[in-house]
Chain A
């Protein structure tokens, strides 16, 4: 009872217990159910379900577009966060709250609106399509909606770090003779690396699972613009639960390994930032 507690706040046991419970019920249990359903298939059936030319094309598309979108988001997100933190201008507050909108909007709405903008007769499409830019029902369309959906993740992870970064450090760098590029590269960027990597990981993970918006803009053409989640739905429509979850398991395993890799990268970049 009278255990020594060196922490200022009590409740380690309780909070850890709650965390474990929460993780189990919300995350582990559904994943476990998914794996057990997939395990109802024989090894041959599993292979046949998850490794065909068509599923491989879908995995490549899902991971490829998610990577591109997350990369674009890192660049765009950094820019947006920079503008929001470093400058004061009318409408900044409004702009700041607009950033979160993609999180609140049902993604299907995002997909529908993007498609209607970029088709031949859409507001933007009528100028882009004659130039040969098909930004609806193409891979580009998928990247566009994924950028839309992932943007808040990068902005919101980078923003607080930028806020903590004193403008004086750049001034110091400049007064010590650094060029603008040098002070950006050597002074501003290093402390931002961990936040950028986190933002990248979040945006990337979010894109992998995205279904609602993508089905409306991609055109869902097999081998070309068909993402892996569409294949899962197609198998479910056939009441092939085992096959559907098998594809889900493959997605989960690849996603999980990529996220672990990114986490390692993040830790490594933090160490780098600490040394800088």
Chain B
């Protein structure tokens, strides 16, 4: 580098330092880019993490949250939203960010439990007293049952419902053909394909359409709570294990020099205090001890892993949901 170049660089750095609003190391701001229904969860987790970090490291940390559709959030990060950490609904979304080089290496291995501080699943919400007697996946395709679930192409809730339905057949002895027949029948009984989880909830709860709503477990719990007796929750014997991974966005934390705080933030999620908050919001905690303590609110069911029906999430997406996959063939006229 030439003398002039070095001088110029020093000048720019000095300017940047002067303009930077961060006062040395005693206060720091993190941006957590997450998906829609986790707003309240992260509000509570942040309120619990910040005082802890101040006590341990003497650094006041403010955490900004951003929420939206999971893959729209991933696109925002890819296009330059400077997230320190991403806590998205699906491996595919986090992976898409990693594929653009913003998260490096074997990121899922960096944190305990494969970077999953919590998991979740898809359960059924039915009308009061379960008038159609819906207990298990085969009940969904009985004549006259209307099923509400969002579009697998545009919603995480939607594609997990689809994969759950698929797994419920092939993991209980059904062939691939049986599974295709089942999902074809199932989606014929879906009168509306909302674009996202919230839209589907509105259709089911406010509009009173459908007999059963295939929802995220945590959303289902809130839905039933808010309905004050008008809705019931039904746990099918088998469903998919949803895996909302968390990850530090390397490119952002290195540029913003926030790596230490961002990593501490995600590690904190595995502490007992954080796991308790997670359980209180109806997400299944990674800690066995905490899960056991809340056993009453998390009925046991067979949660199957994506690896039991495909290589991994991207492979499942390609086979079932992506253009030309199984889902596309369901609606083909004739």
User: Which of A219, A234, A236, A240 is within 8 Å of B191, CB to CB?
Assistant: A219
Contact segment of B57-65, B193-201, B224-232: B193-201
Closest to B194 in A: A220
Interfacial chain B residues near A223, Cβ < 8 Å? 331-333
Are B75 and A236 interface neighbours, CB within 8 A? Answer: yes
Interfacial chain B residues near A221, Cβ < 8 Å? 192-193, 331
Are B195 and A220 interface neighbours, CB within 8 A? Answer: yes
Complex CA–CA separation, A235 to B153 (angstroms):
8
Interfacial chain B residues near A235, Cβ < 8 Å? 323
Whether A54 is near chain B, meaning CB under 8 Å from some CB there, is yes
Complex CA–CA separation, A219 to B191 (angstroms):
7
Please give the distance in Å from B250's CB to the nearest CB on chain A: 19
Are A116 and B207 interface neighbours, CB within 8 A? Answer: yes
Are A239 and B192 interface neighbours, CB within 8 A? Answer: no
The dominant DSSP class at the B interface is loop
Closest to B153 in A: A234
Whether A112 is near chain B, meaning CB under 8 Å from some CB there, is yes
User: Which of B96, B151, B331, B333 is within 8 Å of A239, CB to CB?
Assistant: B96
Whether A164 is near chain B, meaning CB under 8 Å from some CB there, is no
Interfacial chain A residues near B252, Cβ < 8 Å? none
Are A238 and B193 interface neighbours, CB within 8 A? Answer: no
Closest to A118 in B: B207
Are A222 and B195 interface neighbours, CB within 8 A? Answer: no
User: Which of B195, B323, B328, B332 is within 8 Å of A233, CB to CB?
Assistant: B195
Complex CA–CA separation, A233 to B194 (angstroms):
13
Whether A142 is near chain B, meaning CB under 8 Å from some CB there, is no
Instruction: Check A137/B153 contact, CB under 8 A, given A115-B207, A236-B75.
Output: no
Interfacial chain B residues near A112, Cβ < 8 Å? 202
Work out how many contacts link A and B, with CB atoms closer than 8 A. Answer: 67
Are B154 and A234 interface neighbours, CB within 8 A? Answer: yes
User: Which of B202, B322, B331 is within 8 Å of A238, CB to CB?
Assistant: B322
Whether B71 is near chain A, meaning CB under 8 Å from some CB there, is yes
Q: Which of A122, A137, A222, A240 has the most CB of B within 10 A?
A: A222
Please give the distance in Å from B47's CB to the nearest CB on chain A: 31
Please give the distance in Å from A210's CB to the nearest CB on chain B: 14
Interfacial chain B residues near A234, Cβ < 8 Å? 151, 153-154
Whether B2 is near chain A, meaning CB under 8 Å from some CB there, is no
Interfacial chain A residues near B72, Cβ < 8 Å? 236-237
Which residues from 211 to 247 on chain A have a C-beta closer than 8 Å to any C-beta of chain B?
Answer: 215-216, 219-223, 230, 233-240, 243
Complex CA–CA separation, A122 to B96 (angstroms):
42
Q: Which of A119, A239, A240 has the most CB of B within 10 A?
A: A239
Whether B180 is near chain A, meaning CB under 8 Å from some CB there, is no
Please give the distance in Å from B268's CB to the nearest CB on chain A: 30
Interfacial chain A residues near B191, Cβ < 8 Å? 137, 219
Interfacial chain A residues near B328, Cβ < 8 Å? 54, 222
Can you show 23 pairs from A to B with CB atoms below 8 A apart?
Answer: A112-B202, A119-B207, A120-B209, A121-B207, A137-B192, A215-B199, A216-B194, A219-B191, A219-B193, A220-B151, A220-B192, A220-B194, A220-B195, A221-B331, A222-B331, A223-B332, A230-B154, A236-B72, A238-B317, A238-B323, A239-B71, A239-B78, A243-B323
Given contacts A234-B151, A239-B75, A243-B323, 8 further A-B contacts (CB under 8 A): A115-B207, A116-B206, A221-B331, A222-B193, A222-B331, A233-B154, A238-B317, A239-B71
Per CB-CB distance, the 7 closest pairs between chain A and chain B, nearest first, are A222-B331, A234-B153, A220-B193, A219-B192, A237-B71, A119-B207, A121-B208
